[in-house]
Amino acid sequence: MLGNGLLQGLVVTARNFIRSYFDPERLTTVQYPEERVTLPENSRSFPFLVYDGTPDNLRCVACKICEQECPPQCIYIEVERDPKTGKPVRRPRVFDIDYSVCMQCQICAEVCPFDAIKMDQVYELAGTDRFGGMLHDKAALLKSNEYYHQIRPTEADEVDARLSQSKKKVSPPIAKPAAVPPAQPVPPKTDV
């Protein structure tokens, strides 16, 4: 019969509709924004920068690996320089991410060797114009390590354990070679 599959599909739909009416656990919709579904720990949205303690204690050292690996090239970093010497300091002066270009691929978070950039769970972004509200600077991207522990507790504990382990690693002191006494001059040989 030609419509047999169609009828079976309608029966399944009607059965699920009736069961969801009597069993609230089967409901899949919520009254948003009054009710919000808790997101799974591994969900991701846009990247943010992690700092420990105060915003001055940023994990990012401006190595620019995330900027180089970003497929849509939406990350822009400038290294801060010491005003007296002009030498680079290991922190970003400018760290911008253009969310209008970001495709949320998480490559920046995966390649960061310092665990400074992570993916957020915030998916409600709105702007008044097309591009201006989507360019986030360093101040807008900064979020504390405590926030990171709230959204991803398992991963954050692993990262903190790894970072504390690497800080504890101290290279053993290099043993200085024993002082060698100066060589005694060899008397010249005389042929007799």
Higher pLDDT, 41 or 63: 63
> Residue 172: its pLDDT value, please?
53
Q: Looking at residue 143, which CATH number applies to its domain?
A: 3.30.70.3270
> Residue 70: its pLDDT value, please?
95
Q: How far is CA 102 from CA 37, 91, 131, in A?
A: 24, 22, 12
Domain-located, residue 42: no
Domain-located, residue 4: no
Reported as a single tens digit per residue, the pLDDT across 88-129 is 999 999 999 999 899 999 999 999 999 999 999 988 887 777
Give the global pTM. Answer: 0.71
What average pLDDT does the chain have?
86
Rounded CA-CA distance 128/43 in Å is 26
Domain-located, residue 154: yes
Domain-located, residue 18: no
- DSSP calls for 27-59: -----TTTS-PPPPTT---SEEEEESSSTTSBS
Number of domains in the chain: 1
Reported as a single tens digit per residue, the pLDDT across 27-60 is 778 888 888 888 888 888 999 999 998 989 999 9
Could you tell me if 65 and 56 are in contact, meaning their C-beta atoms sit under 8 angstroms apart?
no
Domain-located, residue 102: yes
Q: Which domain holds residue 141?
A: 47-164
Which own/partner pairs from 33-41 qualify as long-range (CB within 8 Å, at least 24 positions apart)?
39/121, 41/151, 41/152, 41/153, 41/154, 41/155
Domain-located, residue 183: no
Domain-located, residue 85: yes
> Residue 168: its pLDDT value, please?
81
Domain-located, residue 40: no
3-state secondary structure of 18: helix
Q: Which two tokens stand for residue 17?
A: 């509709």
Rounded CA-CA distance 25/54 in Å is 42
> Residue 181: its pLDDT value, please?
64
